[in-house]
Amino acid sequence: MSVQPETETGAQSTVAGETPEEGVYSFASMEAKWPQVWEDLKVFTPVDDGSRERRYVLDMFPYPSGDLHMGHAEAFAMGDVVARYLRQKGFDVLHPIGWDSFGLPAENAAIKRNAHPSEWTYANIDTQAASFKRYAISADWSRRLHTSDPEYYRWTQWLFKRFYERGLAYRKDSPVNWCPKDLTVLANEQVVNGACERCGTPVTKKSLNQWYFKITEYADRLLDDMSELQGHWPERVLAMQRNWIGRSEGAHVRFAIEATDGRAERGVTVFTTRPDTLYGATFFVVAADAHLALDLVTPEHHDALMAYREKVKALSDIERQSTEREKTGVFTGRYAINPLNGEKLPVWAADYVLADYGTGAIMAVPAHDQRDLDFARAFNLPVRPVLNTGGEDPVETGIATAGEGTLMNSGELDGLSKAEAIPAAIDILEKLGTGEKFVNFRLRDWLLSRQRFWGTPIPIIHCAECGEVPVPDDQLPVTLPENLRGEALSPRGTSPLAAALEWVNVECPNCGRAAERDTDTMDTFVDSSWYFLRFVSPHYTEGPFDPAKINAWMPVGQYVGGVEHAILHLLYARFFTKVIHDMGLLEADEPFSALLNQGQVLNGGKAMSKSLGNGVDLGEQLDKFGVDAVRLTMVFASPPEDDVDWADVSPSGSAKFLARAWRLGKDVASEPGVDVSTGDRTLRTVTHRTIADAAELLDNNKFNVVVAKLMELVNATRKTIDAGAGGADPAVREAAEAVAIILSLFAPYTAEDLWNQLGHPASVANAGWPSHDASLLVQDTVTAVVQVQGKVRDRLEVSPDISEDALRELALASENVQRALDGRGIRTVIVRAPKLVNIVPA
RNA sequence: GCCCCAGUAGCCCAAUCGGCAGAGGCAGCGGACUUAAAAUCCGCUCAGUCCGGGUUCGAGUCCCGGCUGGGGCACCA
């Protein structure tokens, strides 16, 4: 068959190896023919010698979960358009491919099959690699990397050590998110609505000694440097990162806690964004589950607190986080002293105050904070408004007034507006020495320890004498033991590595005594936080990357991937880049100058999923319509960032267009290099207009519109051929060559075949972007629209350089205009030569 | 509750600065070619831009207020 998928006979396109009928579009024979040619020519390997300006285009590397799916097909189609376009424009393009190949699914598969995780992993990688080659991704395969290769994770460990030396990797005991099903620790980012992101099991807390990266030290820079990304990253990604970092300006205020009932006096600091409302504080709350609550509580109230803590612990995070839940809490028996007015405030312990945000304690201002008001009403605590907002009294309504207003009942702050009172209050606190301006962040340090096997081992040895001892650089990598497989990998709450005794037991590199390796592995997000640096010199053996190359390529000019990585991966990669920059190893301090989030591929309005049974198999689509038709459909369906609903689009329509474009080649009757200046002027204008428009559209990622323009050019060329000028007209060749080059970004097989038909050697990928002749775009006449009161009343063919006065004369002389004016006078005439005149009647 | 994004023909989508609402495709209808069909080629129909205000000579585009859909954060002090 040619392109019609419904017909099962005439199967030239679906059966590779069968000789296609002469002159019939056969994607199967193209797919069989060209990959070897491209590989032999090394078309997609950058010259990397500085002779041409460099550009780095990167797709988020895949996890080898199985074969490629529709989502990969979309994402990589988009990235490939960018890479191929920049190559045509003459840049030396780095467009590498690799695999994020550590991770839990491989481990689970290994347990099930009594195998080693590497077997499953590398088999899947081979499958995906073959599919990528079929899909004609213009990648430099010589730079292929896998994060689970010791040559790679050696440098992940090396970087961990550098972080450690800078105090950016540290261990601490802390309550961690624990998934009772996967038996592993989860980062905050991996807890979704109180449940494990992976398996949905409600997450519990467990106290463990864990490794952290001190990402909070970079919170300010991660936030501030987003201004560089503004306009180049999707706004929603920046918004999500801003939300996640959660910068909050306010003050730290120190309250003295009275000595009572066997407990000594001490101070407790709170964080507040509303120091202006200090006079309205009527009680004080500490997080019930924080150690602070135990420190404060008097013996008399101790039992009640313990009972309350038990109740809180029994609640799941989901229940606890419900905002509808009634306020609960217990009195601690203690009083805090308001530093401004000396008032005694009862100290309560409650679970609506979070132990791990701010200082785990708050001053409660019920009149102006809804949560505090709810609590006050539940426990009959006083409410004192200190801000006149003009709204109804919160004491009456039960609705806290959080808006603007004027201070009252607040001593020296009285009469100030909220905006004035905040700095004034901070000023007073600073003078008293009981507080200061403070910026708080929601962001927590990055917990990187995982009690899992298939990950990068943490290169630390624990020695009874010397403590934590990093494995010396020349002993890296610390490789995973090969003899653990199957059941031995199943989760037990400690890392499976702990069972490999001959691996665990080592000599201390420091003192030589018996010591043990750290048995945790790193979160796989560590691996993917620097892979873009490794791609620059993936075979370099003296460091994570070649210093002579790194600044030539970094930063990545265009990064392409799904919005699901808007927070985790992108934030971590930015953090790593900044640290490596601070180490003096990298000039860039942002990794990705521009980011494109391609949409999802849906089917019938919903994400494809096994449970819905609406999955579309990529392999089947490729068999049925061909690689080019699938790629073209992905790109043409909608703007790259929008979702594509496979039920709404037509790969058979794409295939029809490709065949139509390809057939142009058969009609071209002139020789390569023919003088095009005598060609059909109308077609030449369309060709050059298309070349110019396409470049601008591509610069703005409007790939779908480029395809539409290309369709127009194909239609115009067809028309020229059929309307008499014929295939011998040099303009037809010029148009067909432009079609081949532009098409090469979207449909590499068809474009290469067309290019070949037109008598050119491979590869069209290196043909170079055609230059457009601006003189052909100058129009002899343009249509000027004449409006009366904003409504179109006439159209005039005028010279493009007509003067405003001349155009005004012409417009006023128009019969249609005079009829529309109907005798009314003219108030004003707006002239935008040469395109528009608007006449406003009196 | 806070924040971000998007609503244009039956459907997917175009529309530099505010300047003729329509480029392209899908679906539909009609025609040419054919004994017929497929393929191919040609042509046609279809909305006034989610709603309400405002600014303007002029608004899909800018401003204000809503509605609907999608997404993020969330007892975050």
Render pLDDT for A518-540 as a digit per residue (tens, 0 to 9).
999 999 999 999 999 999 999 99
CA distance A253 to A759: 79
Least confident of A243-252, A393-402, A582-591, A789-798: A789-798
Q: Out of A202-216, A257-271, A455-469, A754-768, which region has the weakest mean confidence (pLDDT)?
A: A202-216
pLDDT of res. A811: 87
CA(A45)–C1'(B16) in Å?
Answer: 36
pLDDT the model gives residue A4: 30
A637 contact to strand B (CB, 7 A limit): yes
Cβ of residue A24 lies below 7 Å from strand B: no
Confidence class for position A726, pLDDT limits 50, 70, 90: confident
Nearest nucleotide to A641 (CA to C1') is B5
How many helices and strands (H and E) does chain A possess? 29, 34
pTM, whole model, 2 decimals? 0.92
Residue A16 has pLDDT above 60, yes or no: no
Residue A840 — very low, low, confident or very high, per pLDDT cuts 50/70/90? confident
Q: Which residues contact A244 (CB under 8 A, 6 or more apart)?
A: A442, A443, A567, A571
pLDDT at A326: 85
Compute the average pLDDT of residues A811-828: 83
Answer for A835: CB within 7 Å of strand B: yes
Here the tokens at position A590 are 């942002």
CA A27 – C1' B70 distance (Å)? 37
**Mean pLDDT score of chain A, rounded to an integer?**
90
Nucleotides of B under 7 A from a protein CB: 3-5, 11-16, 19-21, 23-27, 38-42, 57-59, 70-77
Q: Identify the residue whose Cα has the smallest distance to the C1' of B20.
A: A785
Question: Which structure tokens are listed for A710?
Answer: 């290309």
Rounded, the Å distance between the CA of A661 and C1' of B40 is 13
* Tokens 């004035």 sit on residue: A420
How many angstroms separate the CA atoms of A329 and A319, rounded? 16
Q: Which nucleotide is nearest to A693 (CA to C1')?
A: B16
What is the distance in angstroms measured between the alpha-carbon CA of A692 and the sugar C1' of B34? 42
pLDDT, tens digit, 9 for 90 and up, residues A242-281 = 999 999 999 999 999 999 877 889 999 999 999 999 999 9
Closest residue (CA) to C1' of nucleotide B71 is A236
> What three-state secondary structure class fits A692?
helix
User: With pLDDT > 70 as the criterion, what percentage of chain A qualifies?
Assistant: 95
**Angstrom distances, CA of residue A382 to CA of A277, A389, A409, A481:** 15, 19, 14, 64
Shortest CA–C1' contact from A363: which nucleotide?
Answer: B77
Q: Is the CB of A187 under 7 A from strand B?
A: no
A409 CB closer than 7 A to any strand B atom: no
pLDDT of residue A185: 77
**Would you say A355 and A333 are in contact if contact means Cβ atoms under 8 Å apart?**
no
Is the minimum distance from the CB of A831 to strand B below 7 Å? no
| C1'-nearest nucleotide to the CA of A837 | B19
* Residue whose C-alpha is closest to residue A46's, from A557, A723, A749: A557
* A779 Cβ within 7 A of any nucleic strand B atom: no
Residue A301, pLDDT score:
95
Site of tokens 């929603």? A236
List the Cα angle A133/A137/A142 in 5-degree steps: 70
Compute CA distances A255 → A267, A292, A335, A341, A362, whole Å: 6, 14, 10, 11, 10
CB atoms inside a 10 Å sphere around CB A795: 12
Report the alpha-carbon distance of residue A44 to residue A37 in Å, rounded.
12
**Are A765 and A88 contacting, i.e. CB atoms less than 8 angstroms apart?**
yes
List the single protein residue with the shortest CA to C1' distance from B42.
A719
Residues 556-575 of A with CB under 7 A from strand B: 563, 566-567
Per-residue pLDDT tens digits for A650-687: 899 999 999 999 999 999 999 999 999 999 999 999 99
Q: What is the pLDDT of residues A455-506, one digit of tens each?
A: 999 999 999 999 999 999 999 999 999 888 888 887 776 788 998 999 999 9
Reported confidence tier of residue A189, pLDDT bands at 50, 70, 90: low
Query: Is the CB of residue A583 inside 7 Å of nucleic acid strand B?
Result: no
- Spell out which residues of A between 252 and 291 contact strand B, using CB within 7 Å: 270-274, 287
Tell me the residue ranges of DSSP E strands in A635-695. Answer: 644-645
Amino acid A719 CA to nucleotide B43 C1' distance, rounded Å: 14
As given in the structure block, the two tokens for residue A193 are 């609505």
Separation of A711 CA and B24 C1' (Å)? 7
Q: Report helix, strand or coil for A349.
A: strand
Residue A322 has pLDDT above 80, yes or no: no
H/E run at residue A254: strand A248-257
d(CA A772, CA A796): 28
Residues facing residue A522 across a β-bridge: A449
Please state the rounded mean pLDDT for residues A211-232.
Answer: 93
State how far the alpha carbon of A192 is from the alpha carbons of A179, A197, A200, A570, in Å.
12, 5, 8, 18
Rounded CA gap, A388 and A280, in Å?
12
Tens digit of each residue's pLDDT (9 = 90 or more) over A333-357: 999 999 999 999 999 999 999 988 9
Portion of chain A with pLDDT greater than 90, in percent: 69
pLDDT tens track for A56-71: 999 999 999 999 999 9
φ and ψ at residue A636, rounded to 5 degrees: -80, -25
SS (H, E, C) A508-567: CCCCCCEEEECCCEECHHHHCCCHHHHCCCCCCCCCCCCHHHHHHHCCECEEEECHHHCC
What pLDDT was estimated at residue A316?
61
CA atoms of A842 and A840, how far apart (whole Å): 7
**Distance in angstroms, CA of A616 to C1' of B60?**
35
